[in-house]
């Protein structure tokens, strides 16, 4: 049956529902709060809560939850029912304004990077009315921001909300300088393309590594990977199409604008892209998308893998974060304009991004840092860990021409003429979108940050981008507000950008070794792993920009640094322990058993007077591989016991330099054993079983 599109957003307490269910004056007050970010009056909150509860109960909800996004890349919340006992032993359903606005969960069990003392375990969740409440699984979900008793952010949403305001204010200042008197706010628009894998549930359940770590720690190279290039955009198999259809329907009911779906490059890999939205909502919707992908997979006998690198030998998954700025009256600030005046404004915004990305390349790299992404970035399947900006030849040469040109006259019109900007053609998206290897590409009317990990929240990437671009916009506006020669100053801004930050522009193939060398010559940072990238949180210039704009305080930067490193070490240690368990309980017993079987046959033949050389060869290889595996496993065990607990950087460095390489060594041997072993005796599904079974 086809989807009844009148049901789109039917589980969302949307603007239409609010208008319908709230008294006019309450609706107006709430809208004012949503638009201005100012807190809602207690009496108004009371009325909103009552209406929300009635609507939710009508739709079958029994509970509500303050839904928040701790620093775990997933969401959290506890459920409270609406029931409240009455003296006559019955119950009524209640939901107060206070309950809507504020929750007090015990926050001590969430990552906090030393921000909280356990005796001050209280945390607050505060309603974020800019993202609509919705109903899922008989529960009213209220999007909230999560902070400590003393007001420090413990989540990813709080800095994102703060950064949205900062960039709106700074972009508006610049627009005013350009004479814009109509726009009131600037929104950050984001569309996050989500990659994922689907594997058969039964096979998945037999893989401890997939279940515990989300990625395979072992697995011989399958005969067929992605070399035929027959999966990308290929026909979607019926079982997968069914899954995608159910996913679309559930997302649509929640108001998520799921738009595009297709098969990706690797076998069993797929992608879903929504239509872009305000970044806060895009972020919430991406979290919902990831959750529903997992849940619906399970219902369909499938498992959804969101890890950045579930399988060796084939591509991993990422998330393309499409980012742009749009005024409340609908002007996309990265859309090249129709006239010289608009074009010059576009180029100024473009220069702000170029400058920001160059100055804060380490912070942008950090914003995509997560253990799983270290296996992907720089592996010729995803952008390298080096940040650069792709503009396309056309736009680069326009900027260069302007930078190299003569200082223009004062007079507006002639200035633009001299800059050659009036001829700025409408950029064809096809021209600018051809390069798929760049980590940060201008794609016609938006930037596409392609480094974010598939399992990560997009919040960090966006609050970083918003803040650093806002900071540069602010500097540009200061210059323009203090000059008597507006056109000349714009010209100097473009010139300065190209001279001081042109090195960040790279239009070539980012996957090549030549680029790695060229980038080093240009002095661009190459932070190849999470541990190195984490230090950007401690870099004074980064703390300065984040704290000056009140997005993250110095203390919050330190806490995020700790959380990232702790998380990294935990992941590696869990992976190592999982590998050890698989080796001891599955690989070694299976290998011994198989060796025993061949030995028996070998001896029987020998009794019959035959000396079989191929059996002897297999036995020797397996026996050597088994010895090698055992001894490396012992070393790994010792290493895991030696992880230093003194400081998070040392621990993470130890995990990266000692544990991870040892796991790789073990894998090499075990994968060889797998190749030599009878399939019926191998104790877990193979890569082919996982990738080509559906």
Which residues sit at the interface with Mg ion, rule CB under 5 A? 320
Q: If binding is defined by CB under 6 A, does position 275 make contact with ligand ADP?
A: yes
| Residues forming beta bridges with residue 321, ordered by sequence position | 192, 449
The two structure tokens encoding residue 203: 């096979």
- Closest separation between CB of residue 264 and Mg ion, Å? 11
Q: Taking CB under 6 A as the rule, does residue 656 contact ligand ADP? A: no
> Least distance (Å) from ligand ADP to the CB of residue 412?
28
How many CB atoms sit inside 10 A of residue 495's CB?
17
Cβ at position 371, least distance to ligand ADP in Å: 26
Using the minimum distance from each CB to ligand ADP, give the nearer residue, 127 or 323.
323
Instruction: Report what 535 binds from ligand ADP, Mg ion, none; CB cut-off 5-8 Å by kind.
Output: none
Task: Between 63 and 262, name the residue whose CB sits nearer to Mg ion.
Answer: 262
| Residue with Cβ nearer Mg ion (232 or 341) | 232
Q: Compare residues 186 and 691 and give the one whose CB is closer to ligand ADP.
A: 186
CA distance 307 to 213: 8
Which of ligand ADP, Mg ion, none does 242 bind, CB closer than 5 to 8 A by kind? Answer: none
Q: Is the CA virtual torsion 356, 347, 394, 335 positive or negative?
A: positive
- Stretch of 35-43, 50-58, 190-198, 676-684 contacting ligand ADP, by CB under 6 A: 190-198
Q: C-beta of 394: minimal distance to ligand ADP in Å?
A: 17
- Site membership for ligand ADP, residue 233 (CB under 6 A): no
Q: How many CA atoms lie within 13 A of 69 on its CB side?
A: 27
520 binds ligand ADP (CB under 6 A): no
Among 14, 169, 246, 445, binds ligand ADP (CB under 6 A): 445
The interface partner of residue 332, options being Mg ion, ligand ADP, none and the CB cut-off 5 to 8 Å by kind, is: ligand ADP
* End-to-end C-alpha distance for the chain, whole angstroms: 23
Cα–Cα distance for residue pair 277/188, rounded to 1 Å:
8
Binding segment (CB under 6 A) for ligand ADP, from list 112-120, 317-325, 545-553, 659-667: 317-325
Window of 55-63, 185-193, 397-405, 593-601 that interacts with ligand ADP by CB under 6 A? 185-193
**In the complex with ligand ADP, which residue's Cβ is closer, 433 or 665?**
433
Query: Per CB under 6 A, which of residues 454..513 are in contact with ligand ADP?
Result: none
Measured CA to CA, the distance from residue 306 to residue 294 in angstroms comes to 9
Give the tokens for residue 122.
Answer: 């209280």
Nearest one of 417, 448, 419 to 433, comparing CA atoms: 448
Contact string 400-439 vs ligand ADP (x = CB under 6 A): ---------------------------------x------
CB of 331 to ligand ADP, least distance (A): 11
* 111 forms part of the interface with ligand ADP (CB under 6 A): no
Residue from 69, 189, 286, 578 touching ligand ADP (CB under 6 A): that is 189
What is the C-alpha separation between 630 and 669, in angstroms, rounded? 10
- Give the integer Cα–Cα distance in Å for 377 and 308: 10
Q: How far is the CB of 335 from ligand ADP (least distance, A)?
A: 8
Bridging pattern class, strands 319-327 and 123-127: unpaired
> Does 324 engage in binding with ligand ADP (CB under 6 A)?
yes
Contact 250, 232 (CB under 8 A): no
The smaller minimum CB distance to Mg ion, of residues 13 and 442, is found at 442
Nearer to ligand ADP, 275 or 538 (CB): 275
Of 27, 64, 197, 276, which lies in the binding site for ligand ADP, with binding defined by CB under 6 A? 276
332 touching ligand ADP, by CB under 6 A = yes
Q: Is 251 in the site for ligand ADP (CB under 6 A)?
A: no
Q: List helix spans (H) across 502-553.
A: 513-522, 530-534, 540-548
Least Å distance, CB 271 to ligand ADP, is 9
* Structure token pair of residue 87: 């003296």
- DSSP letter for each residue of 315-370: ---BEEEEEEEEETTS-BTTS--SSHHHHHHHHHHHHHHHHHHHHTHHHHHHHT--
Region near ligand ADP per CB under 6 A, out of 11-19, 104-112, 270-278, 515-523? 270-278
Which of ligand ADP, Mg ion, none does 253 bind, CB closer than 5 to 8 A by kind?
A: none
Strand-pairing partners, residue 272, are: 194, 261
Q: How many CB atoms lie within 10 A of CB 200?
A: 20
Phi, psi dihedrals of residue 502, rounded to the nearest 5° = -60, -25
Using alpha carbons, list the distances in angstroms from residue 391 to 359, 481, 669: 17, 28, 45
Does residue 274 bind ligand ADP (CB under 6 A)? Answer: yes
Q: Print burial letters for 301-315: b (CB count within 10 Å at least 16), e (below 16).
A: ebbbbbbbbbbbebb
Q: Which of residues 338-357 bind ligand ADP (CB under 6 A)?
A: none
The phi and psi torsions of 277 (rounded to 5 degrees) equal -150, 180
Instruction: Give the whole-angstrom CA distance, residue 465 versus residue 520.
Output: 23
- Residue 682 interacts with ligand ADP (CB under 6 A): yes or no: no
Q: Is 52 helix (H, G, I), strand (E, B) or coil?
A: helix
Q: Under the criterion CB under 6 A, does residue 190 sit at the interface with ligand ADP?
A: yes
Binds 445: which of Mg ion, ligand ADP, none (CB < 5-8 Å by kind): ligand ADP
- Taking CB atoms, the residue at the shortest distance from Mg ion is 320
33 binds, among ligand ADP, Mg ion, none (CB under 5 to 8 A by kind): none
Q: What angle do CA 460, 461, 465 make, to 5 degrees?
A: 115
Residue 617 has which token pair?
């060869």
Return the H-helix or E-strand segment holding 273: strand 269-274
607 burial (CB, 10 Å; 0-12 / 13-18 / 19+) is: exposed
Out of ligand ADP, Mg ion, none, which partner does residue 214 contact, by CB within 5 to 8 A per kind?
Answer: none
Task: Note the residue count of the chain.
Answer: 694
What is the C-alpha separation between 546 and 564, in angstroms, rounded? 17
As a whole number of angstroms, the distance between CA 280 and CA 155 comes to 13
Can residue 318 be called a binding residue for ligand ADP (CB under 6 A)?
A: no
Told to check if 193 binds ligand ADP by CB under 6 A, we report yes
Q: Please state the closest distance from residue 681 (CB atom) to Mg ion, in A.
A: 44
Between 320 and 662, CB nearer to Mg ion: 320
Q: Which is nearer to ligand ADP, 57 or 331 (CB)?
A: 331
Q: Which is nearer to ligand ADP, 272 or 386 (CB)?
A: 272
Please tell me the distance from the alpha carbon of residue 439 to that of residue 382, in angstroms, as a whole number. 8
* Size of site (CB under 6 A) for ligand ADP: 16
Q: Nearer Cβ to ligand ADP, position 332 or 621?
A: 332
Return the number of the residue (66 or 320) whose C-beta is nearest Mg ion. Answer: 320
Q: Residue 688 and residue 674: Cα distance in Å, rounded?
A: 13
Residue closest to ligand ADP, measured at CB: 191
Is residue 269 within 8 Å of residue 196, measured between CB atoms? yes
Of 217, 328, 311, which is closest to residue 268 (Cα–Cα)?
311
Residue of 273, 370, 427, 468 that binds ligand ADP (CB under 6 A): 273
Choice between 324 and 348, CB closer to ligand ADP: 324
In 3D space, the residue among 315, 219, 214 whose CA is nearest the CA of residue 271 turns out to be 315
Q: Which is nearer to ligand ADP, 49 or 465 (CB)?
A: 465
Question: By CB neighbour count within 10 A (0-12 exposed, 13-18 middle, 19+ buried), where does 57 fall?
Answer: middle
610: contact with ligand ADP by CB under 6 A? no
191 binds, among ligand ADP, Mg ion, none (CB under 5 to 8 A by kind): ligand ADP
Give the binding site for ligand ADP (CB under 6 A): 189-191, 193, 273-276, 322-324, 332, 433, 443, 445-446
């Amino acid at each position: 049956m086809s989807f009844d599109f009148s049901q789109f957003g039917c589980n969302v307490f949307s603007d239409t529902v609010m208008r319908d269910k709230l008294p006019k004056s309450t609706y107006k007050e709430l809208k004012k709060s949503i638009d201005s970010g100012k807190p809602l009056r207690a009496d108004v909150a009371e009325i909103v809560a009552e209406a929300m509860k009635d609507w939710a109960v009508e739709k079958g909800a029994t509970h509500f939850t303050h839904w928040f996004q701790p620093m775990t890349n997933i969401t959290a919340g506890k459920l409270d029912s609406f029931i409240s006992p009455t003296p006559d032993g019955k119950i009524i359903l209640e939901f107060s304004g206070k309950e809507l606005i504020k929750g007090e969960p015990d926050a001590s069990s969430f990552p906090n990077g030393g921000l909280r003392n356990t005796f001050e375990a209280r945390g607050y969740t505060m309603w974020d009315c800019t993202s609509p409440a919705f109903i899922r699984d008989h529960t009213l979900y209220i999007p909230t921001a999560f902070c400590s008793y003393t007001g420090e952010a413990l989540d990813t949403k709080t800095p994102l909300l703060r950064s949205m305001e900062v960039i709106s204010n700074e972009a508006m200042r610049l627009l005013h300088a350009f004479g814009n008197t109509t726009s009131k706010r600037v929104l950050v628009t984001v569309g996050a393309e989500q990659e994922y894998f689907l594997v058969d549930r039964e096979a998945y359940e037999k893989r401890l590594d997939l279940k515990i770590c989300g990625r395979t720690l072992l697995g011989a190279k399958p005969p067929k990977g992605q070399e035929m290039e027959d999966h990308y955009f290929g026909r979607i198999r019926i079982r997968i199409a069914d899954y995608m259809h159910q996913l679309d329907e559930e997302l649509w009911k929640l108001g998520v604008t799921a738009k595009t779906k297709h098969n990706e490059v690797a076998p069993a890999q797929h992608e879903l892209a929504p239509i872009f939205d305000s970044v806060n909502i895009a972020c919430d919707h991406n979290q919902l998308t990831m959750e529903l992908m997992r849940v619906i997979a399970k219902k369909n006998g499938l498992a959804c893998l969101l890890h950045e690198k579930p399988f060796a030998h084939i591509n991993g998954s990422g998330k393309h974060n499409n980012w742009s700025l749009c005024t409340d009256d609908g002007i996309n600030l990265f859309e090249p304009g129709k006239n010289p005046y608009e074009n010059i404004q576009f180029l100024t915004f473009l220069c702000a991004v170029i400058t920001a990305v160059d100055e804060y390349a380490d912070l942008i790299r950090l914003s995509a840092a997560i253990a799983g992404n270290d296996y992907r970035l720089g592996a010729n399947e995803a952008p390298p860990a080096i940040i650069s900006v792709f503009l396309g030849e056309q736009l680069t040469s326009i900027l260069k021409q302007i930078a190299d040109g003569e200082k223009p006259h004062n007079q507006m019109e002639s200035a633009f003429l001299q800059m050659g900007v009036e001829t700025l053609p409408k950029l064809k998206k096809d021209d600018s979108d051809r390069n798929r290897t760049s980590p940060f590409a201008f794609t016609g009317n938006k930037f596409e940050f392609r480094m974010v990990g598939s399992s990560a929240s997009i919040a960090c990437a966006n609050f970083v981008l918003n803040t650093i671009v806002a900071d540069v916009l602010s500097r540009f506006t200061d210059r323009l507000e203090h000059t008597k020669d507006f056109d000349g100053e714009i010209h100097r801004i473009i010139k300065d950008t190209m001279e001081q930050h042109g090195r960040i522009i790279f239009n070539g193939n980012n996957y090549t070794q030549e680029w790695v060398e060229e980038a080093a010559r240009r002095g661009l940072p190459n932070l190849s792993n999470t541990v190195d990238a984490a230090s950007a949180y401690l870099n004074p210039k980064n703390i300065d920009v984040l704290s000056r704009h009140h997005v993250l305080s110095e203390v919050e930067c330190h806490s995020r640094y700790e959380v990232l490193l702790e998380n990294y070490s935990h992941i590696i240690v869990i992976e190592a322990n999982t590998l050890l368990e698989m080796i001891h309980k599955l690989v070694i017993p299976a290998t011994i058993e198989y060796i025993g079987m061949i030995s028996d046959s070998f001896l029987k033949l020998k009794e019959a007077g035959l000396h079989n050389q191929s059996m002897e060869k297999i036995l020797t290889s397996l026996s050597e591989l088994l010895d090698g595996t055992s001894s490396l496993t012992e070393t790994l065990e010792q290493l895991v016991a030696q992880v230093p607990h003194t400081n998070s950087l040392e621990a993470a460095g130890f995990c990266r330099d000692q544990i991870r390489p040892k796991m790789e060594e073990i894998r090499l041997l075990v994968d060889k054993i797998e190749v030599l072993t009878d399939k019926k005796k191998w104790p877990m599904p193979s890569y082919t079983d996982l990738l080509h079974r559906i």
